[in-house]
Structure 1
């Protein structure tokens, strides 16, 4: 089954988060003018944007799209936080019972806001996601599958957009079988470089990840909601010799060409570098997945795009 069966046409898609130096979720958010600058950089080259959270940034993104008359369609996500301890997580994931209870309350509010925004902007928001990487074994915000299913049912009952859950490809093979029957389409994340693949193995590995899930659920469309290649690393999880702008360019072009040919909706991760992510180390790989730097300068893969903008 293809995404077109849900009346969603495949097209160029990208993950967007606009946090710059000194900004971070829950703290300082980008301004209207900063988001406007970002969206004008992306406009005309990507049709679909993926947003992760129903927060102040999302409110401004939707305002900019509407006010400036930009031709974007948005996949809007509700971020759900930990409802259960994940003692195996290498970077946290353990909370007090009071914190877990508070997270549950926040999650319900987040899901209700997702419903509200989806119904207010049906012309812009083309699909919805409840949660992001919340069930995989290494997550620091673990949510039990049955709880995710409850949220999916809440949203489906009160909205009209197709609904999904965004997760690494691995849990869809076993842990998420019941959830797969609740969503309208399945969303997977595939990162060959995190799994120690070199650039020559990258696209084949992505195909293996995608088709492994697609063949398990032939009655459900499968979307890639994250796939990308970092350009820097301090060695934490990624070999520094395996990431650079040349490899990012190769993987991006291979990924997009394959997705276009096969009619697969693929969200490239991500538009801009985000310095708030990961550790204090400036070379932390989490900070370096953008096709543009945090200063909005194009990396190698985007040089041709910028040249076209100037012509």
Structure 2
């Protein structure tokens, strides 16, 4: 059997929510806002990762096609919690009725994934069933057996390769049965979330990838999230580590190593997203972009986008 060859090019995670917009409230970026974003990104990037099959994703794929942009998409399906997770520190308990409704909505989301992948075969190069749905701390836990069911459903219906996006830890500990169903593994690695200083960060990422490769030697691997925060109140990381200078150092080293290793690597993420996390303006979830929320390049991107600085 020929080993799957994943595309190797500059890759980035894209979620275009601006001030006042929120996927949870279905307040989506407009087509023109998405068009502005994609024309910015397509100057340097060729691969995008999308997280769900909402109107946001539909509009992204629409703009890529209408404008003939040289962008290809890893299209994701967002799966909501189907079981409670007492291990989640920020709210892993849900009412029985909510879990039942989530299960129905997850089935509908997978249907949307199949439909969008079918309509956009030129734009969508692979699909991902779920994002961080099995890791110990997730607030949207989905049982592994149910993940396998959804992966099988998608693989039977789409032409593209199928993956699941997850933190590196479960891939090396508890997801052998799920991995066996996939065309490739997608892992996430965040040294700054694990209090690693910058001089240990890339080695830590490399070790994360190596541990998953050793566990699943027959499967291709992609990094579908890796990045560095640029502002923080200290929750989950050392606040002094969350600065643009360290983002530039880590991401530059990350992309260089991934290129040399022939490893697809999606940098997290394109733009800061104010809707994420707590109301604290220094909530770290809000500050992972290589660009600010007003589309100004941070330090790493300024040499490539001097006109936007």
Q: TM-score, normalised by structure 1?
A: 0.97
TM-superposed deviation, 1:9: 2.5
TM-superposed deviation, 1:5: 3.3
Q: Which residue of 2 aligns with 1:154?
A: 153
1:255-304, Cα deviation, whole Å (9 max, x unpaired): 00001111100000000000000000000000000000000000000001
Q: Which residue of 2 aligns with 1:8?
A: 6
1:72-122, Cα deviation, whole Å (9 max, x unpaired): 000000000000000121110101111100000000000011001111110
Q: Secondary structure of 1:298's match? A: coil
Q: Which residue of 2 aligns with 1:168?
A: 167
CA distance in 1: counterparts of 2:95 and 2:73, whole angstroms: 35
Q: Which residue of 1 aligns with 2:105?
A: 106
CA distance in 1: counterparts of 2:64 and 2:186, whole angstroms: 24
CA distance in 2: counterparts of 1:47 and 1:187, whole angstroms: 18
Deviates more, 1:225-234 or 1:36-45: 36-45
Q: Which residue of 1 aligns with 2:293?
A: 294
CA distance in 2: counterparts of 1:88 and 1:178, whole angstroms: 22
Q: Secondary structure of 1:209's match? A: helix
TM-superposed deviation, 1:15: 0.1
2:255 is equivalent to residue 243 of structure 1: no
TM-superposed deviation, 1:7: 3.4
CA distance in 1: counterparts of 2:128 and 2:185, whole angstroms: 10
Q: Which residue of 1 aligns with 2:16?
A: 18
2:210 is equivalent to residue 227 of structure 1: no
1:196-221, Cα deviation, whole Å (9 max, x unpaired): 10111000000000011012211100
Number of residue pairs matched by the alignment: 307
CA distance in 1: counterparts of 2:53 and 2:174, whole angstroms: 26
TM-superposed deviation, 1:239: 1.0
Q: Secondary structure of 1:11's match? A: coil
CA distance in 1: counterparts of 2:143 and 2:3, whole angstroms: 30
TM-superposed deviation, 1:26: 3.5
Q: Which residue of 2 aligns with 1:303?
A: 302
Deviates more, 1:286-295 or 1:8-17: 8-17
2:209 is equivalent to residue 215 of structure 1: no
CA distance in 2: counterparts of 1:189 and 1:105, whole angstroms: 27
TM-superposed deviation, 1:37: 0.5
Q: Which residue of 1 aligns with 2:142?
A: 143
Runs of 4+ off more than 4 Å: none
CA distance in 2: counterparts of 1:250 and 1:23, whole angstroms: 30
TM-superposed deviation, 1:8: 2.5
Q: Which residue of 2 aligns with 1:177?
A: 176
Q: Which residue of 2 aligns with 1:85?
A: 84
Q: Secondary structure of 2:23's match? A: coil
CA distance in 2: counterparts of 1:244 and 1:251, whole angstroms: 11
Q: Secondary structure of 1:167's match? A: strand
CA distance in 2: counterparts of 1:12 and 1:61, whole angstroms: 18
CA distance in 1: counterparts of 2:198 and 2:215, whole angstroms: 27
Q: Which residue of 1 aligns with 2:252?
A: 253
Deviates more, 1:210-219 or 1:271-280: 210-219
1:28-87, Cα deviation, whole Å (9 max, x unpaired): 100011000000110031110000000010010011101111010000000000000001
Q: Secondary structure of 2:12's match? A: strand
CA distance in 1: counterparts of 2:89 and 2:266, whole angstroms: 27
Q: Which residue of 2 aligns with 1:187?
A: 186
Q: Secondary structure of 1:165's match? A: strand
CA distance in 2: counterparts of 1:96 and 1:278, whole angstroms: 21
